[in-house]
Amino acid sequence: MIAVLRAVETKRRGRAAGIGLTVAALAIIAAGCASGSPIPSPLATGALLTVETRGGLCADGPCGMTLVVERDGRVHEAAKPPNDLGHVPPAALAALDQAIRTTDFAELKSHRFTGLCPTAFDGQEVVFEFGAPGGVQRIATCEVEVDFGSPLFVAVSTAIAPFVSLPIP
């Protein structure tokens, strides 16, 4: 009987210690959350940038292409292989990544395009897809009034200039 009582007492002490550790861990987590320390967002996956030009007329039909900038700086067309075009220089890639991470896409999208889309008169629309930390952000020049002088689009132009020129209105 004494052995049974000792076993019960030991088990109860073990539970109390386990509860104490759980409470201590929760207190540490709560203190970290309350400290205002930023919680890092998960790294985005997929392409860093995709630029699609579409519209206009070329000799063999509608014009257009899709350029992809991967997170490692590799640049390629989305058309069937071989489609590698080269690499974005490291400094331009870092500037592009930083610009994407810090852009307020909700603010950017709030400037609606109100003109006539260039595709209506043999011009081109440009569709940008940015691999932002919160997910892919799509900006189309016939939907959003794009400020090509903004830091984001300066970084885009700098990164892709060796591979394609943007039809800036």
**From the CA atom positions of the chain, what is the Rg in Å?**
27
Residue 4: the pLDDT is 41
Asked whether residue 111 falls in the same domain as residue 134, the answer is yes
pLDDT tens-digit series, residues 99-141:
999 999 999 999 999 999 998 888 889 999 999 999 999 999 9
Residue 5: the pLDDT is 41
Residue 47: the pLDDT is 95
Taken in order 134, 138, 143, 147, the sign of the CA dihedral is positive
Average pLDDT over residues 77-85: 85
Show the domain range for 71: 49-160
Give me the amino acid identity at 165.
S
Does residue 57 form part of some domain? Answer: yes
Does residue 168 form part of some domain? Answer: no
Q: Above pLDDT 70, what percent of the chain?
A: 71
How wide is the angle at C-alpha 120 spanned by C-alphas 122 and 50, nearest 5°? 75
Asked whether residue 58 falls in the same domain as residue 140, the answer is yes
Does residue 167 form part of some domain? Answer: no
Residue 167: the pLDDT is 62
Does residue 8 form part of some domain? Answer: yes
Asked whether residue 100 falls in the same domain as residue 125, the answer is yes
Does residue 32 form part of some domain? Answer: yes
One DSSP character per residue, 85-128 reads EEE--HHHHHHHHHHHHH--HHHHHTSB--S--GGGGT--EEEE
CA 55, 61, 63, 66: dihedral to nearest 10 degrees? 110
Asked whether residue 155 falls in the same domain as residue 78, the answer is yes
- Please tell me the pTM assigned to this model: 0.71
Asked whether residue 34 falls in the same domain as residue 56, the answer is no
